[in-house]
């Protein structure tokens, strides 16, 4: 549990300390997702359009989606190894991040809960809890593809 808390805390700190461009006023859309970061940011579209991400982010999330699909189709049960494989992809995304501004902030709305679910997969010995984390993670990945593109 402590590594999970530490990872979440580090991400929140990095989120708050990231360099940000001057933000333009963005009109609110009615299309928001139920994913939120500390009740301060809610996942939304960019004036009805998807946010643009860097190639590395798209590649990393696509690989995560493929890993999840392969895990489920092979009816595997080793959630810890899946969590480790997914963690490699999130590490790649974070190391490669060069995004700024509102798109970057919106990406964090997806990444923070994603990292939390991946930590659960890596650390939990409870299969029921791991299955629930995987289902939630699938929803987060689906929300990413609804809100982001290259």
User: What range does the domain containing 89 cover?
Assistant: 56-150
E strands along the chain, which residues? 32-37, 41-44, 51-52, 148-149
- Residue 70 to residue 122: CA distance in whole angstroms: 17
Domain membership flag for residue 16 = no
Question: What pTM was estimated for this model as a whole?
Answer: 0.76
pLDDT of residue 141: 98
pLDDT band at 3 (very low <50, low <70, confident <90, very high): low
How many domains would you assign to the chain? Answer: 1
The candidate with the shortest Cα–Cα distance to 104, out of 41, 20, 48, is 20
Domain membership flag for residue 49 = no
Across residues 38-54, what is the average pLDDT? 87
pLDDT of residue 41: 75
pLDDT of residue 36: 52
Domain membership flag for residue 37 = no
Domain membership flag for residue 24 = no
Domain membership flag for residue 92 = yes
**138 token code pair:** 């699938």
Domain membership flag for residue 68 = yes
Domain membership flag for residue 1 = no
| Cβ-based neighbour number of residue 87 at 10 Å | 17
Domain membership flag for residue 47 = no
**46 token code pair:** 């960019």
| Angle subtended at Cα 91 by Cα 51 and Cα 128, rounded to the nearest 5 degrees | 95
pLDDT of residue 118: 98
Tens-place pLDDT, residues 79-111: 999 999 999 999 999 999 999 999 999 999 999
């Amino acid at each position: 549990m402590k590594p999970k808390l530490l990872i979440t805390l580090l991400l929140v700190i990095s989120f708050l300390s990231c360099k940000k461009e001057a933000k333009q006023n963005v009109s609110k859309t009615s299309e928001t997702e139920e994913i939120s970061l500390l009740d301060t940011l809610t996942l939304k579209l960019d004036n009805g359009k998807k946010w643009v991400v860097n190639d590395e982010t798209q590649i990393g999330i696509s690989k995560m989606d493929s890993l999840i699909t392969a895990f489920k189709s092979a009816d595997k049960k080793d959630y810890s190894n899946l969590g480790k494989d997914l963690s490699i992809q999130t590490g790649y995304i974070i190391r490669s991040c060069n995004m700024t501004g509102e798109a970057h902030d919106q990406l964090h709305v997806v990444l923070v809960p994603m990292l939390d679910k991946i930590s659960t997969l890596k650390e939990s010995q409870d299969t029921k809890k791991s299955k629930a984390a995987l289902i939630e993670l699938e929803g987060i990945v689906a929300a990413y593809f609804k809100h982001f593109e290259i």
